[in-house]
Amino acid sequence: MEHFNLALVDWSRAQFALTAIYHWFFVPLTLGLSFIVAFMHTIYYKTGNEKWKQMTKFWMKLFGINFAIGVATGIILEFEFGTNWSNYSWIVGDIFGAPLAIEGLLAFFLESTFIAVMFFGWNRVSKKFHLLSSWFVAFGSNLSALWILIANAWMQNPVGTRFNPDTVRNEMTNFFDIALSPTAVFKFLHTVSQAYVIGALFVVAVSAWYLLKKRHLTFAKKSILIASVFGLTASLFVALTGDSSASNVAQTQPMKLAAMEGLYDGETNASLYALGFLNNEKNNTNFKGIRLRSMLSLLAFRNASAFVPGVNDILNGNKEQGILPAETRMEKGRIAIQSLADYKQAKKEWNIELASQKLQEFEENYPHFGYGYFTDKEAIVPPVKLTFYSFHTMVGLGLFFILFFAWLLYASMKDKVDKYKWILHLSVWSLLLGYIASELGWIVAEVGRQPWTIQDLLPVGISTSHLSVGSVQTTFFMFLVLFTVLLIAEIKIMLTQIIKGPEEGDSHV
Amino acid sequence: MFNNLSYPELQAYWWIIISLLASVLVFMMFVQGGQTLLWQLGKTKKERSLITNSIGRKWDITFTVLVTFGGVFFASFPLFYSTSFGGAYWVWILILFSFIIQAVSYEYRTKANNFLGAKTYETFLLINGILATVLIGVVVGTFFTGSEFSVNKLNITHVSDPVISRWQTVTHGLEAVLNITNLALGLAVFFLARVLAMLYFINNIDHAEILKRSAKQLKLCSVAFLVFFLLFVGLVLTKDGFAVNPDTRVVFMEPYKYLHNLIEMPVVLILLLIGVVDVLYGIFLGAFKTSGKGIWFAGAGTIITVFSLLMLAGFNNTAFYPSTYDLQSSLTIHNTSSSKYTLTAMSWVSLLVPVVIAYIWITWKAMSKRKVSEEDIENDTMAY
């Protein structure tokens, strides 16, 4: 067991997870729909056809309803780094704050300035300026995703940084190492492309519902055609970037990869578990299902005979593979923590020789610093089953979306999309599957890296604020009630607008 | 160019940027001020729609300024972010809560089947209008009056209790409201936001009745603003301040510190006077001439005044976020800032600020060519 206040850590964690999960209900649709609106707006600009204007306005209206609640849930996420993760804010603020500031400066202003023009500029600005505004909103939204994902990627793979014992924090040493790290690049591409899939699924679901109800037939067919091109391209890109992301995880977060694959004992020619169940026992041989031999080694390290470490290798060490046992790392971590305290004390007493000796000791052991806060090695294992099933379900759904959009595109091009009722029903329900896949992706990313806030350097338990558990419990329930009420309001408004359809001009009561 | 700046120069540069952002935020809170006037100036449903459509086209910019202000403060002075947000928890949570309910209210208020009803969303706007202005004013007030917290970076080596910044009151920031200086600033910001909102309406809304009511209310709110603002300035200039010894970095109490700062930084004194005169002239134009130019004078005056107040708080060897619990835990621009590397990297990014200001200005002008009118709203299917 760790020493720190577990109740406070868990409630702070719960509050952040709650906010992030709610926020992520809305963001993918904003990212995806913004481009679809911009595409339609462009066609209207080029053709002058009023039907395209009507379509643009309809999807723009739905975009606006979703955007407002996305903004509402987003503001609290940013400030929760300070309110609930005060230690984290100081220890990594030198690195983590910069992407947030740049996000505000470069992306949010672009988005918020031009969104007013996009919505209210139909008769106030030139057609060209108006179209540009739609594109600026789409770029602004996606640019904001870039910077926050760079920040998140750095937490998973802390590059371009060094710990400064004098200021007692991590400091940035190379901005470009952080901004262009492969973890950041793959994370951004994978995340935004799956957001485009959600945007496409949303348009398909609404349009398929119209076709089922035999309403707005031309509008619905055109929308499905655009969305299926967009969705197929995006879902293929999701698969491609997902593969690169997983390979990156293998190199930077081996414990997360082991949890994603339910791999307890590492092996060469490691198998990929394609379909099946994990048994309760901590032994990979108890996996029941279809295995693809050597595939995991190939996908993780681009080498079919590569060794993939399992949970037990990381916990108990593997001399042959050069993996240190967790207990050794914990011991080295404790030395790092103590030598930091001794170094500061020696400096205070002007004992230069001792300070220099302790500094060297600290720097030698710093790569294990975070492990020093644990007393039980099992604490470094994330929830394996949750990570495993989330990952495999997400991958399965990802493959389904490729087939789904390919078929939809084929049917649209043959003008047969309204002939198959079952596929229209499936189209409506696929939106839900899209949201499930999207949230599962974040569960893999965030649950899989537990117990670390910053991989190997800062455990979640050390990152909190000095608050009472009661305060955090109160705000947790405040946000739970508020976000749920707002979500209900959003869904009701959205459904009402969809039922009214694109030909209803008046959106008001 | 930034690579040649010294560390203290970079810290000063970022304090100036923070102060500018805070000043723009106070100006942009005319949106919040307008939300508190919804029922006072809008007697009918149509009139209230005019008001929400006027300020509703700007709410997102105010929101973005707040978020950017938070991000930039985090990036440039992370120890403030960690100490204030994690410590004055309840004040910040209330402020943020009010912004959450604001963000959906414009879009959802008049939409069919909106679950809570138009009145609830209008009440959300009112709550945000009051809480955001008063509490942000109160928080800025603590820059001059102090808060009860301690900071000890070595706590990180205490495995069982590693938190560096600790607030010492159970009310976690709410106690600041009970301080007369903080409250005076909070109420001054509240009435200033209302004053700016009415000047904005005079500039932006085409409706004789709303303009008439705005001009009348403007006089009352301006008097209230002046009373609280002068009370705040009077209290701050006559109180002991939190000074820092530049050689030893030891924090100590200095009688009339902020008055001394004003005298020792004549540029700040001149700016403060220009700002106040500008605000007063803007009010005069709006209240007595019903001129649409009032918002520009009062807006520029607001930015200059708030900027100079923050210069008083952070420059001339002053602790900008003082601790009354442990003076040596007080935060200065030197002991809270990011590393030289980060400040330099961020400074390069800051060169894009003029570009941002330019496109905001262009779109603002383009969208404000025509005043918001009843006819305008009736013909716009996207209107709030």
List chain B residues with CB under 8 Å of A87: 82, 86, 156, 162-165
Residue B261: inside a domain, yes or no?
no
- Helices and strands (DSSP H and E) totals, chain A: 16, 8
**B193, part of any domain:** yes
Instruction: At A154, list the tokens.
Output: 């750095």
Quote the CA–CA distance of B120 and B232 in Å, as a whole number. 34
Q: Are A171 and A164 in contact (CB under 8 A)?
A: yes
pLDDT of res. A3: 54
B180 belongs to a structural domain: yes
* Any domain includes B224: yes
A463 vs chain B: nearest CA distance in angstroms?
Answer: 8
Mean pLDDT of chain B: 96
pTM for the full predicted model:
0.94
Q: Does A414 touch chain B (CB under 8 A)?
A: no
Q: Please report the pLDDT score of residue A274 as a whole number.
A: 80
In a domain, B110, yes or no: yes
Nearest-by-CA chain B residue for A75 = B67
Domain that residue B127 falls in: 2-238+318-378
Instruction: DSSP letter for B5, please.
Output: S
Q: Per-residue pLDDT tens for A386-418?
A: 999 999 999 999 999 999 999 999 999 999 999
- Enumerate the residues of chain A whose CB falls inside 8 A of the CB of residue B165: 86-87, 90, 465-466
What residues of A are in contact with residue B358 (Cβ under 8 Å)? Answer: none
| Residue of A57, A71, A102 lying closest to B103 (CB–CB) | A71
Tell me which residues of chain A, numbers 311 to 370, contact chain B at a CB-CB cutoff of 8 Å.
Answer: 337-338, 340-341, 344
Mark yes or no for CB contact B153/A100 under 8 Å: no
Q: Which residues of A touch B64 (CB under 8 A)?
A: 104, 108-109, 111-112
| β-strand pairing of A458-459 with A452-454 | antiparallel
Q: Which of A87, A121, A496 comes nearest B162 by C-beta?
A: A87
What distance in Å separates residue A244's CA from the closest CA in chain B?
29
pLDDT at A506: 41
B160, part of any domain: yes
**Residue B151 Cα, gap to closest chain A Cα (Å):** 11
CA B107 remoteness from chain centre: 24
User: Mind listing the pLDDT tens digit for each residue in B287-303?
Assistant: 999 899 999 999 999 99
The average pLDDT across B154-179 equals 95
pLDDT in tens, B324-355: 999 999 999 999 999 999 999 999 999 999 99
Counted domains in chain B: 1
Q: Say what the pLDDT of residue A235 is.
A: 97
Concatenate the DSSP letters of all residues of B72-92 into one string.
HHHHH-HHHIIIIIHHSHHHH
Residues of A in contact with B116 (CB under 8 A): 485, 489
Q: Which residue has tokens 């210069």?
A: B311
Instruction: Please give the interface size between A and B, counted as residue pairs whose CB atoms are below 8 Å apart.
Output: 313
Q: Which of A154, A465, A471 to mutate to test the interface with B (most CBs of B within 10 A)?
A: A465
Per-residue pLDDT tens digits of chain A, which is 509 residues long? 455 677 999 999 999 999 999 999 999 999 999 998 999 999 999 999 999 999 999 999 999 999 999 999 999 998 999 999 999 999 999 999 999 999 999 999 999 999 999 999 998 899 999 999 999 999 999 999 999 999 999 999 999 999 999 999 999 999 999 999 999 999 999 999 999 999 999 999 999 999 999 999 999 999 999 999 999 999 999 999 999 999 999 999 999 999 999 899 999 999 888 887 777 665 555 677 788 889 999 999 999 999 999 999 999 999 999 999 999 999 999 999 999 999 999 999 999 999 999 999 999 999 999 999 999 999 999 999 999 999 999 999 999 999 999 999 999 999 999 998 999 999 999 999 999 999 999 999 999 999 999 999 999 999 999 999 999 999 999 999 999 999 999 999 999 999 998 865 444 33
Q: Would B313 be classed as within a structural domain? A: no
Question: Is A30 at the interface with chain B, CB within 8 A?
Answer: no
pLDDT of residue A67: 93
Contact A87, A463 (CB under 8 A): yes
Mean pLDDT, rounded, for B76-92: 97
Asked if the C-beta of A237 comes within 8 angstroms of chain B's C-beta atoms, the answer is no
Residue B288 lies in a domain: no
Q: CA of B354: which chain A residue's CA is closest?
A: A105
Identify the bridge partners of residue A454 per DSSP, sorted by sequence position: A458
Query: What pLDDT score was predicted for residue A502?
Result: 86
Look at chain B and count its residues. 384
Q: Which two tokens stand for residue A28?
A: 């993918």
> Between chains, do B87 and A465 touch, taking CB under 8 Å as contact?
yes
Cα dihedral A6, A7, A9, A14 in deg (nearest 10) = 140
Q: How far is A161 from chain B (nearest CA, A)?
A: 11
